[in-house]
A and B are shown apart, each in its own frame.
Chain A
Amino acid sequence: MHNLFIDLSNSSRNLEKKISTFKCTINLSNISVLVGKSGSGKTSTLRLISGLDYIEDASIKFNKTIWQENDYFLIPEKRNISFVFDKVNLFPYMDISENLNFTHKRAKNKISKDFYDELLNTFMVEDLLKKYPNQLSAGESQKVAIAKAFIFNGDIFLLDEPLSSMDPLTKKKVISNIKRINNKLKKPILIVSHSLNETINLANSISVMENGSIIFNDTINKAINNKSFTDHFDQDPLSILKVEYIEDEKLWNLSKYQFGNEFLYVSNDHGNIKKNRENFFRINAKDVSILKNKETTHSSLNQFTCVINDIKEFTDSSNALITLITKDKQSLKSSLTRKSLKKLNLKVNDEVKALIKTVSIF
């Protein structure tokens, strides 16, 4: 387990507008994703960690190595970081193959020629080698940039929105390749992302930034039940449910998933749903309705016993938001009208049934 320690509590006087005083230890297990709204200071944090920006009186440590403390400051050249910038990552006067070779030559932990070739193949840059950076599309540049980061093979990878310009299909391939390659290299990767989909598919742990501070930092399993994470991505409230794939029920064209000791069925009509053992489902709060009493006859297949944990009424609108806890302690949000809330007379700690109408798989 690697970790990054950042302490800005003594640097209040010297901070630029984008980042504020915070102190935290980011645990980097395999792939960590740093999320947050635009302008929340994600890029500034990466630049601070890499040493490209200097903030006086800050303290930064990577594992046991001190990168900055008191008057000591290790220059970025010596931190051995594979950094992917959000825009430009290649020298314009070299073609792609020269760019990548140059990086390979300069790398401290040089990867083997075989692995180098494998990376070119994995990230689909072989056809781009003779082109110049200004001849590439934004998505192609990003593939090259990721390959370059792995070729440099730094002690830590800092990637600033490395997938933002890729088409969905390429993105999917690249994500699974990043995970595969990283299982081999075993280097900590910290990725900045805006997309919930990317985050869920990549992350082993998640950090959330807000107004220049890291306000949440934990494993993905904890993050999906934490509203500081789930509230970041959409205006409409949503929940993320972790489920295990069990089997396909061919007769009904359904796929069966399990969480806790309850089953959830998802239509298999489109056929191409991935069959990982562990899956995350996105459930919009307005697709969850609530049944009270012992009533069980209902058209919905997906009914789960839950306990109400929190009720929030929005007095300026017709809506209320209920947070439910499932039997296996995952949180599930349901959005209903204030009128039905009144009618059902729901209270915290009531046991109810949640009906899930639609889910989408990450």
Chain B
Amino acid sequence: MMFTSEEIQSIFLTFKLSFVVTIILILFSTPLCIWLAKSRGYLSKIVNSIVTLPLILPPTVLGFYLLIFLSDNHFFNNVLSPLGINIQPFSFSGLVFASVIYSLPFAVQPILNGLQNLDQRYIEIAKTNGLNRLDRFVHVVLPLTYKNFLTASILCFTHTIGEFGVILMIGGNIPGETKVLSIQIYEYVEILNYSSANKLGLFLIGLAFFTLFFLYCLQTDKNKNHIKNA
């Protein structure tokens, strides 16, 4: 199974996109989840619902509004451009922005789950040992929930690899800029090049299978390490 240079470019672009999106999502979701796990008010329920919306909405709806938002929103770009960030539709940065929104629930849910199920007794032990907030996060929260963070990263990464609808709406089909694997496959099917579509399709199926397999191995491992209660 050999890939053409165009295909390799698509594969590389897809992985680059997933990588960047995953990093941004973990960094953004962690403080968000800490807040969501703690607060009991209606505001957190509203925020949590908004964050979970992309799970339910058709990607076309999301893509359509993101397209309008990014093309029209001068305020948004005026604020970000001094920071060296310029988000435009039909560009890599636009894809990153859309993918972050689209994959947000896949980062938030596992992390939030871990933080909400965190045994508060360990936090209290840490407090009586004089650990401040940051120390507690590094030395107690992370060791107890790192699997949730790992799960979130893997889900974000693979979900971004498999993304199609939103990218089609907002990114178009620019080689090396926005033409990711899923778009490439779509293009092959449109021009009736079934064997190439099949090749890339099998590649994605294999990738998805091994990711899920790895995730389930991680989960059984979690049960084995179950903490004994006195």
CA distance in complex: A169, B20 (Å): 61
What is the distance, in angstroms, from A97's C-beta to the closest C-beta of chain B? 16
- Kindly supply a per-residue 1/0 record for chain A positions 327-362, scoring 1 wherever the CB is within 8 Å of any chain B CB and 0 otherwise: 000000000000000000000000000000000000
Report if A185 contacts B (CB, 8 A).
no
CB pair A85 B124 closer than 8 Å: yes
Are A83 and B128 within 8 A (Cβ)?
yes
Chain B contacts of A165 at CB under 8 A?
230
- Whether A103 pairs with B144 at a CB distance below 8 angstroms is no
Stretch at the interface among B89-97, B129-137, B163-171: B129-137
Given A91-B140, A134-B228, CB of A85 within 8 Å of CB of B127:
no
Interface residue tally on B, bucketed by range: 20 to 34
Q: 10 tightest A-B contacts by CB?
A: A134-B228, A83-B128, A93-B143, A76-B127, A87-B230, A92-B227, A88-B121, A106-B129, A77-B130, A138-B230
Is B122 part of the contact surface with A, judged by Cβ < 8 Å? yes
**A88/B129 in contact, CB under 8 A:** no
- Contact, CB under 8 Å: B128 / A50: yes
Cβ of B129 and Cβ of A152 under 8 Å apart? yes
A108 touches B (CB below 8 Å): yes
Chain B 197-226, CB within 8 Å of chain A: the 1/0 string?
Answer: 000000000000000000000000000010
Beta-carbon contacts under 8 Å, A32-80 to B? 50, 52, 75-78, 80
Q: Say yes or no for A81: interface residue by CB 8 A criterion.
A: yes
Chain A stretch 83-139: residues in CB contact (< 8 A) with chain B = 83, 85, 87-93, 102-103, 106-108, 133-134, 138
Q: How many A-B residue pairs have CB under 8 A?
A: 58
> Measured between C-beta atoms, what is the minimum distance from A129 to chain B in Å?
18
**Residue in B closest to A138 when the chains form the complex, CB atoms:** B230
Check if B130 sits within 8 Å of A85, measured CB to CB. Answer: no
B5 within 8 A of A: no
Binding site for A on B (CB under 8 A): 119, 121-122, 124-125, 127-132, 139-140, 143-144, 225, 227-230
For residue A284, CB closer than 8 A to chain B, the reply is no
- The CA-CA distance from A76 to B127 in the complex, in Å, is 6
- Which residue of A81, A87, A106, A152 contacts B229 across the interface (Cβ within 8 Å)? A87
Which of B119, B124, B230 neighbours the largest number of chain A CB atoms within 10 Å of its CB? B230
A279 in the interface (beta carbon within 8 A): no
11 chain-A/chain-B pairs, Cβ below 8 angstroms = A76-B128, A77-B131, A88-B125, A88-B229, A89-B125, A91-B143, A92-B227, A103-B129, A106-B130, A133-B227, A152-B129
Across the two chains, which residue of chain B brings its CB closest to A107?
B130
Measured CA separation A52–B230 after assembly (Å): 21
Interface size on A, residues (CB 8 A): 29
Residue numbers in A under 8 Å from B230 (CB-CB): 87-88, 138, 141, 165
The residues of A that contact B143 with a CB separation of less than 8 Å are 91, 93
Q: Which one of A85, A87, A88, A102 has the highest number of Cβ atoms from chain B below 10 Å of its Cβ?
A: A88
A152 nearest in chain B by CB position: B129
Taking the nearest CB of chain B, how far is it from the CB of A187, in angstroms? 15
Q: Which residue of B lies closest to A142 (CB)?
A: B230
Chain A residues near B228 (CB-CB < 8 A): 133-134
**Contact among B125, B127, B128, B229 with A91 in the assembled complex (CB-CB below 8 Å):** B125
Residues of A within 8 A of B131 (CB): 77, 106
Candidate in B122, B125, B139, B229 with the most chain A CB atoms within 10 angstroms: B125
B127 surroundings in chain A (CB, below 8 A): 52, 75-77
B223 CB to nearest A CB, Å: 13
Give chain B residues whose Cβ lies under 8 Å from the Cβ of A50. 128
Question: Which of the residues B128, B130, B227 comes within 8 Å of A134, measured between beta carbons?
Answer: B227
Taken together as a complex, chains A and B put the C-alpha atoms of A178 and B128 apart, in Å, by: 20
Within the complex, the shortest CB–CB distance from A183 to chain B, in Å, comes to: 24
Q: List, in ascending order, chain B residues with CB within 8 A of A102's CB.
A: 129, 139
Chain B residues closer than 8 Å to A107, beta-carbon distance:
130
B contact residues around A76 at 8 Å (CB): 124, 127-128
Interface pair B227/A85, CB less than 8 Å apart: no
Residues of B close to A75: CB separation below 8 A = 127
Q: Which residues of A contact B140 (CB under 8 A)?
A: 91
Q: Who on chain B is nearest to A83 by CB?
A: B128
In the complex the two chains form, is B128's CB within 8 Å of A52's CB?
A: yes
- Measured in the bound complex, the distance between the Cα atoms of B228 and A77 in whole Å is 26
Q: What is the CA–CA distance of A103 and B143 in the complex, to the nearest angstrom?
A: 16
Instruction: Give bound CA distance, A269 to B129, whole Å.
Output: 49
B99 to chain A, nearest CB (A): 33
Report the separation of the CA atoms of residues A90 and B119 in the bound assembly, to the nearest whole angstrom.
Answer: 12
Could you tell me if A93 and B144 are in contact, using CB atoms closer than 8 angstroms?
Answer: yes
With A85-B121, A106-B130, A133-B228 known, 4 other A-B pairs at CB within 8 A are: A76-B127, A91-B122, A107-B130, A108-B130
Query: Which residues on the A side are within 8 Å of B227 (C-beta)?
Result: 92, 133-134
Give Cα distance in the complex from A75 to B122, angstroms: 16
Given A93-B143, A141-B230, residue A87 in contact with residue B121 (CB < 8 A) = yes
Q: Smallest CB–CB gap between A83 and chain B, Å?
A: 4
* Identity of the chain A residue whose Cβ is nearest the Cβ of B143 in the assembled complex: A93
B125, A78: Cβ atoms under 8 Å?
no
- Given A87-B229, A103-B129, are A52 and B144 neighbors across the interface (CB < 8 Å)? no
Cα A134 to Cα B139 in complex, Å, equals 19
In the bound complex, what is the Cα–Cα distance between A138 and B230 (angstroms)?
Answer: 6
Q: Tell me the bound Cα distance from A83 to B121 in angstroms.
A: 12
Q: Which of A82, A106, A133 has the most CB of B within 10 A?
A: A106
